[in-house]
Structures are given as C-alpha cells and as structure tokens.
Amino acid sequence: MKRVMIIAAVCLSAFTSIAFSYTNKGKFTDDKKKFASLLNEKTDMAAAQRMSDSVYYQLNLDSLGLSQQAFFEAYKGYQFLLEKNKLKKPELLTICDFSQSSTHKRLYVLNVKTGEVLFNTYVAHGRNSGAEFATSFSNLNSSHKSSLGFMVTAETYSGKAGYSMRFDGQEAGINSNVRMRDVVMHGSTYVNADRGDDGQSMGRSYGCPAVSYTEHKAIINEIKDGSCFFIYHPDGYYHRSSKILNADFAWPSMQPALAENAPVSAPVAPATRS
C-alpha cells in the first residue's frame, strides 16, 4: 500500500508541474525565459570585461584619453543603476575623470546605445580637492571638495550661477550629501577652451562639476532628469567602500530580454598611436 501511495504522489506531482507550465490558451510557457533571472543571478566578469571593452573601443575612448579601467568601472555602475531601475535615460552615461589633469578634456557624455560621444570637454573640480589634479574628496558640507562615485542627474533650476542641474547621490557616505551641499552642474567663466588651449588649469569650484558657459545648457539639457553620472578617481578608500563597484549582480545588458539596450557592434581594434 505504501508503495502505491508513493507512486501516486509522484504522478500527481508530475501532473501538477505540467498543469502549471500550461497556459490558458493551451500552449506551454517558456520556463527558461520565466526563470532567466534565477539562472543568471551573477554576471561572469570576464564576459562583462569583454562587453565593456567592446563599447569602449566602439566609442574610441582610448583616443580621447579615458582609460579602460575608468570606463569599466563607470559601465559596471551604470549596469547596477540600470538593474535597480534608477535610470530614466538608460542610453546615457556621463563620466567625469578626475584622474586626469584639469588641463584635459576629462568630461565624457556618452550614448552607449548608439555608440556616440556626445560631448568631450573641460570640467572643474572642487577648490579644496587639489590644484591641477584632484586628489582629495569629501561628502561633507562646506568642504569645498568634489565627491566621487555614482549619481543620477535630477531637475534643473535657475540660481546664482544661472541655469543649473542637481544630482542625487547613490552612494551612502560617499556622495549622499551632494543635494544638501548644492553640488550641481552649472556654467562658469573659469572653465573654458581658451585656458585649455593655453595649457592652463581650469579654475576650481566649491565642489561642483562646472563646465563652460558656452556648453553648459546643451550638456545639462542632454543629461538632466535621470541619467547616470560617474566621477572617477583611483582613490583607494572609494574603491574599498563603494557598494556599487563591489556589487555582484547580473548585468541587465547581458540578459537576453534587455539586449537591445547594449551596443550591437562587434569590438574594434584599438587605434594605433604614433
């Protein structure tokens, strides 16, 4: 009798599984699609690096002075915010590379879906972060230092510096106070191409990533209201502390359902420098 009951239970379980896999229209569902998130809880980092490198070379960022490491970190954090549904403009990624001299064009506004560099220009760092190079960063009010890490662009307003854009910091203890500190993007007279052409450092802000008055409206209007903004520096404390950079998660652009958000071109070879 016990053996008969066990066989009956197995049969009932199999029937129930089939029943739940069957739709009301009489077609079987695709369990692989249904459980894709369970099967891909983490992303293979070697594959992620290949994808990042593909986008990096497609954008020709090596010729514009941005390192592969800076882009990989930016792209990983962008994927993290994408996975958390934080981005209303998932095609855009802005990188502010504070490992570079302020004499360089170290702000990159990228469309990672079409593979376009929309802007590559000069940007200021905080006056207490350093002179030509930014070397010190803070999340504290009145520090007059830049903050590192991932932010999401927010609303615009007109203030003392004219047309400006706010940020919402995404990393507690690292840049979570940027809104309270009034760290915003705005135009400035101390950031301009003439200084850069002469090899001069840009002027410094109170912590804001300020850009030239000739470009600030166009840049702000492009990236405002929900795009990823990353301020990079190879700072040891930040790299140890960032929960975003150290997160282990499934990259949305590597999932079949969201593949259309990733660039579709094949990797291209690095440009040869003379």
Is the pLDDT reported for residue 246 higher than 60? yes
d(Cα 122, Cα 64) in Å, to the nearest integer?
12
**What architecture is domain 42-261?**
Beta Barrel (2.40)
Please compute the mean of the pLDDT values over residues 213-229 and round it to a whole number.
99
The span from the first CA to the last CA of the chain, in angstroms, equals 84
Is the pLDDT reported for residue 17 higher than 90? no
32 — pLDDT class (breaks 50, 70, 90): very low
d(Cα 10, Cα 109) in Å, to the nearest integer?
58
Share of the chain above pLDDT 90, in %: 74
d(Cα 161, Cα 273) in Å, to the nearest integer?
40
Is the pLDDT reported for residue 118 higher than 70? yes
pLDDT at 269: 38
pLDDT at 43: 77
pLDDT at 26: 37
41 — pLDDT class (breaks 50, 70, 90): low
Please compute the mean of the pLDDT values over residues 145-162 and round it to a whole number.
98
226 — pLDDT class (breaks 50, 70, 90): very high
Handedness of CA 173, 76, 90, 206 (dihedral sign): positive
252 — pLDDT class (breaks 50, 70, 90): very high
pLDDT at 256: 62
CB 53 within 8 Å of CB 268: no
Q: What is the pLDDT of residues 165-198, one digit of tens each?
A: 999 999 999 999 999 999 999 999 999 999 988 9
Please compute the mean of the pLDDT values over residues 184-213 and round it to a whole number.
96
HEC string for 92-112:
EEEEEECCCCCCCCCEEEEEC
Kindly report which listed range (80-94, 113-127, 243-257) carries the lowest average pLDDT score.
Answer: 243-257
Please compute the mean of the pLDDT values over residues 81-101 and round it to a whole number.
98
